[in-house]
Amino acid sequence: MPELRAQPGDFATDDWLPPTLPAVIAERSAQVLHLPDPERPAAPGTPVDEPPAPSRRRLLVVGGAAAAAPTASGFAAAWLTGRADPPSIAVSRSRRTVAVQADLAGPVKALGTSLERGVRLAVGQHNARADRPFDLALTILDDTGDAYRAEKTAQRLVTDGRVCAVVGPTSDATALVAADRYKKALLPMATAWADSDSLYAAVDMKHPTSSVFQLRPCDTAIGAPLVRCLTSVRPARRTFLVEDLAARDYSWGIAQNLPPTPHALNWPTAKLSCI
């Protein structure tokens, strides 16, 4: 080691670097600092909206699956014949815009936020599929749980020609006023909210072009699918119901109405008891 140090010289001094090297380092560093900022990529699952065809909403109401059939069949044909597009070739797809109308800052903002996150997740999963027939874009509007604002929000979405369907709102008061707007415009509205049976009355069963879709039974009717599950889907000879006192209004009705239901429907093999 002493011999190696003696051959190149002493490195303890400050003049061992080549005279021009510090200037070169400073110049290159300045060039790096002045590089343009990279462009931010578009958020996944939220492509730029494009106006759909004028009849898009009506097609969704009376036969949305048929409207997308030509594009979907094209993908199926490419897969069956082994002539799928190479990964390096971008596929040009049409875009459909879905809107979320929810309470994001009002009394049920927790529910509205959960709805927003769920739709974002669904849109992202759809847009990640290589065989998707079209891209989905997303528009989110907050009605704060207020009926007046919900009606104005619905009107705004109705006049936005890019929106093909609406998910929400998140309360009876907001959903009922919004449903009237969406029905007149044939803009499909799908909501999982069902605190009462009022939304069922808003669904026009006599006219299949009605654009209001309720995705779950109301609280007063939730017992029917529970009874069918316990007596037909997964038959049980004896079932105990535990009443949830933390959700008194909701669970009390189920606990009181469910036990006599099997006998009323002639299902004597099942016995439901409440504890």
Evaluate whether 46 touches 138 at the Cβ level (below 8 Å).
yes
Half-sphere exposure of 66 (CA within 13 A, CB side): 6
Strand pairing category for 271-274 and 238-241:
parallel
Q: What is the pLDDT of residues 142-198, one digit of tens each?
A: 999 999 999 999 999 999 999 999 999 998 889 989 988 998 899 999 987 766 667
- pLDDT of 224 > 60? The answer is yes
Compare 89 and 123 and report the one with higher pLDDT. 123
Q: What is the pLDDT of residues 248-260, one digit of tens each?
A: 667 777 777 776 6
Phi, psi of 212 (to 5 degrees): -100, 125
In the chain, ranges of CATH 3.40.50.2300 domains: 56-216
Distances (CA, A) of 45 to 60, 91, 256: 21, 16, 45
Show the tokens assigned to 109. Answer: 């903002």
Q: What is the mean pLDDT of the chain?
A: 72
Q: Tell me what pLDDT residue 229 has.
A: 80
Superfamily of domain 56-216: Response regulator (3.40.50.2300)
Q: What is the pLDDT of residues 52-106, one digit of tens each?
A: 444 455 555 544 333 333 333 333 333 333 444 445 466 788 999 999 999 999 9
